Amino acid sequence: MKVNELIEFVGYVIEENTLPKNVSATLNKILNILNADEDVNVKKNKCCNELEELESNGNNIEAGIRVQILDIASSIEQLDL
């Protein structure tokens, strides 16, 4: 997956769901990271850290949203180098 495709997907998840504030804030941070002018490996690591933090504090995440977050995490891991 390319970075711009992931940006589009994350934006879609933000726009199409009623997200808890912590999830929305994390996904917006991920968008900022993906849009930054950095190496892809740095972007991947930063995004994974944000998702790990969300997971550790994410007790209020509905199952459907959790699935989309897992899709995002999988896509981050598959970013083209």
Q: Where are the domains of the chain?
A: 3-77
pLDDT value, residue 59: 76
pLDDT value, residue 73: 95
**8 A C-beta contact, residue 50 and residue 30:** yes
Q: Which CATH number fits domain 3-77: 3.40.50, 1.10.287, 3.90.660, 1.20.1440?
A: 1.20.1440
Work out the number of other CB atoms within 10 angstroms of the CB of residue 14. Answer: 15
Give the contacts of 56 (CB within 8 A, at least 6 positions apart). none
Q: How far is the C-alpha of 70 from the C-alpha of 31, rounded, in Å?
A: 16
Q: What confidence tens digit (pLDDT) does each residue in 20-79 have?
A: 889 999 999 999 999 999 999 999 999 999 999 998 887 778 888 899 999 999 999 998
Provide the whole-model pTM.
Answer: 0.90
Three-class SS of residue 73?
helix
